[in-house]
């Protein structure tokens, strides 16, 4: 499924749904770029991992889900949270450590959760969200709720034992779980090919789980593959393993500035030739779904929305010190 998306399911989406894909990706891109600026100016503290370049995976996957479906996320999870329905203002409030944040300012960038829309949380542990999503799938099956759980994880988690344990359980019990690997080519500072043996798809196939390699820079291809996996899961046919080939434009974290493990030429090629937003813009125009003026208007709206979200977060109060034990221990 590499190359431009031409699938019947994705291209059959009506204009409003297609434009929404664009708006969501632009929102994530603007959010991340502004978060990067705030961190650089020491407005945001702690640690920050950006997903600029990977927007198509978050948006394409979450567009195929219902509000009550579950996701679990990673340390690079801002895009997942936003794509699943998070408010940018509350997201920024969490990054700034303010009480209006989703975790009252105490979770920060790597631990944002939003159960109201099925987001069971980001997780700073590599592979840590995999068994959580599997458990959510088990819960959905026991309750016969028709819900699906999607677990986002990076290529760095491909060799974690918990992935194989979880896949084995999901396959045996036919759980409605989609294992969504975002292969952005590097596990921190090491090329994936240097640490991961064999064909990645075989990790799922070994358990009898349908496995597919998808162009993760093409939001329509992502949506198509996820839609089909979701339908399988809802029909009781069990888990799927989707590997999305994608790329992070910036370093592993904000301290990873020089990126000596890869070349600037490689980065320029991914940006110039495969940028997910540019590719969708081209497709929308070519197929008569939007004009340059239409998309420029959306860009301006998103910029204003993100600017307002930042102001909301800056003006929100910090949590009172008395809250330090809140939501930590059960009563």
Q: What distance in Å separates the CA atoms of residue 72 and residue 121, rounded to the nearest whole number? A: 5
Burial pattern 134-154, b for ≥16 Cβ within 10 A else e, equals: bbbbbebbeeeeebbbbbbbb
Kindly state the tokens that stand for 161. 């034992």
Spell out the domain ranges in the chain. 8-313
Sign of CA dihedral 200, 204, 207, 208: negative
Specify the pTM.
0.94
Using a 10 angstrom Cβ sphere, with 0-12 exposed, 13-18 middle and 19 or more buried, the burial of residue 173 is middle
Element (H, E) at 276: helix 276-286
pLDDT of residue 5: 44
- Segments of the chain with pLDDT less than 70: 1-8
**Beta strand extents in 106-220 (DSSP E only):** 149-154, 177-183, 186-187, 190-191, 211-215
Q: What is the DSSP string of 67-125?
A: TTSEEE--SS-HHHHHHTT--HHHHHHHHTT-TTSTTTTSS-TT---BGGGTB----SS
83 vs 61: CA distance, rounded Å: 9
Q: How many other C-beta atoms can be found within 10 angstroms of the C-beta atom of residue 174?
A: 14
Q: Are strands 211-215 and 149-154 parallel, antiparallel or unpaired?
A: unpaired
Alpha carbons 234 and 265: distance in angstroms, whole number: 43
pLDDT of residue 235: 97
The pLDDT of residue 3? 39
As a whole number of angstroms, the distance between CA 155 and CA 126 comes to: 10
pLDDT of residue 327: 82
pLDDT at residue number 8: 67
Pick the CATH number of 8-313 from 2.10.109.10, 3.30.1240.10, 2.40.160.60, 3.40.50.970: 3.40.50.970
DSSP 191: E
């Amino acid at each position: 499924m590499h190359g431009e998306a031409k699938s019947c399911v994705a291209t059959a989406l009506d204009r409003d749904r297609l434009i929404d894909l664009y708006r969501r990706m632009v929102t994530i891109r603007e959010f991340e770029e502004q978060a990067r600026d705030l961190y650089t100016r020491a407005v945001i503290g702690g640690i920050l991992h950006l997903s600029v370049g990977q927007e198509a995976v978050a948006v394409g996957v979450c567009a195929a889900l219902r509000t009550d479906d579950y996701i679990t996320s990673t340390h690079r999870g801002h895009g997942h949270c936003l794509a699943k329905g998070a408010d940018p203002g509350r997201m920024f409030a969490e990054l700034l450590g303010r009480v209006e944040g989703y975790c009252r300012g105490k979770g920060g960038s790597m631990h944002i959760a939003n159960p109201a829309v099925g987001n069971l949380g980001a997780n700073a542990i590599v592979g840590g969200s995999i068994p959580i999503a599997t458990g959510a799938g088990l819960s959905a099956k026991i309750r016969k709720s028709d819900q699906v759980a999607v677990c986002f994880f990076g290529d760095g988690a491909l060799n974690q034992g918990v992935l194989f344990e979880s896949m084995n359980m999901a396959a045996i019990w036919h759980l409605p779980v989609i294992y969504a690997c975002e292969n952005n080519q590097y596990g921190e500072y090491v090329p994936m090919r240097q640490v991961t043996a064999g064909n990645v798809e075989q990790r799922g196939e070994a358990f009898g789980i349908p496995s597919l390699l998808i162009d993760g820079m093409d939001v329509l291809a992502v949506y198509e593959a996820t839609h089909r996996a979701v339908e399988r899961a809802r029909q009781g046919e069990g888990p799927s393993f989707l590997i999305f080939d994608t790329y992070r434009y910036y370093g592993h974290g904000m301290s990873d500035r020089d990126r000596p493990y890869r070349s600037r030429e490689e980065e320029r090629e991914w940006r110039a030739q495969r940028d997910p937003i540019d590719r969708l813009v081209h497709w929308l125009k070519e197929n008569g779904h939007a004009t340059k003026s239409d998309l420029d208007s959306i860009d301006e709206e998103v910029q204003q929305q993100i600017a307002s979200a930042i102001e909301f977060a800056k003006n929100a109060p910090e949590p009172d010190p008395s809250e330090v034990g809140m939501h930590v221990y059960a009563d």
